Amino acid sequence: MSGLSRFLWERRDEILALTGEHLVLVAVSAAIATAIGVPLGVALTRRPGLARPVLGFANTVQAIPSLALFGFLIPVPVLGGIGARTAIVALVVYSLLPILRNTHAGILSVEPAVVEAADGIGMTRGERLRLVELPLAFPIVLAGIRVAVVVGVGLATIAAAIGAGGLGVLIYRGVATADHRLILAGALPAAALALALDFLLGLVARRWGPRR
C-alpha cells in the first residue's frame, strides 16, 4: 500500500464523518435553494418585467467571492454567526442562481403552441404549470440543480473557515501544516462526492424526465 493510501485508511473514520457533514451541508442548501428557486423562477415567467432585474441581481450576488460572503454573514443576526447555519445560508445564495435561471429558461422553452393548447382546452393556470410546463421544463430545471450541487460541493470546503465542518476541515489543517496528504484527504473525497452526486442526478433525469 502506498503512503497516501495508508494515510487515508488510517483516518477513514474522520474522513467518513466529515464527508457526511459535507453531504448534509450541500444537500440541505440545495434543497432550500430548489424550494426557493423553482417557485421564484416560475413567478418570473409570469412577470417578465421583473425577470431582468431579479436575474441580474442574482448574477451579481453570485459574483461575490465566496470567502468574503462567508465572512460578511458572520455578524448578521439570525442568518449569520459561526457554524453550519451560516454556511448553509451562503451555499443557498450560490445555488440559487443556476436553479432560478434554469427554471425561468425551462418554462419559457415550452412551445407557445403547447401553452396555448393547454389554455385552449381549459386548464387552469395551476394545471397548466403542473401538467404541462413543469414536466416539460424538468430536464432544464434539473440541469440547474446539478450545477448547483456540483459547485456547492466545492464551495462547501470553504465553509470550514467559519467553523461549519465538512471536508474543508482537513484541507485547512493540511494548508496550515503544509501537509499535502491532509489536503488530499479532504480534496479527494470532495471530488468523488461531486462526481457521485452528478451521476445520481443524471440517473434521476433519465428515469423521471419527460419522454417525447
The residues binding another protein (CB under 8 A) are: 111, 113-114, 116-124, 127, 131-132, 135-136, 210-212
If the CB atoms of residues 75 and 112 are measured against another protein, the closer one turns out to be 112
Grid coordinates belonging to 25:
451541508
Grid coordinates belonging to 29:
442548501
If the CB atoms of residues 121 and 178 are measured against another protein, the closer one turns out to be 121
CA distance 144 to 58: 14
- Kindly state the smallest distance separating residue 127's Cβ from another protein, in Å: 7
Closest CA to 190 of 208, 166, 210: 166
If the CB atoms of residues 110 and 149 are measured against another protein, the closer one turns out to be 110
Neighbours of 70 (CB within 10 A): 23
- Kindly state the smallest distance separating residue 123's Cβ from another protein, in Å: 6
- Kindly state the smallest distance separating residue 26's Cβ from another protein, in Å: 30
Contact 117, 144 (CB under 8 A): no
If the CB atoms of residues 13 and 111 are measured against another protein, the closer one turns out to be 111
Question: If you compute the radius of gyration of the chain from its CA atoms, what whole number of angstroms results?
Answer: 20
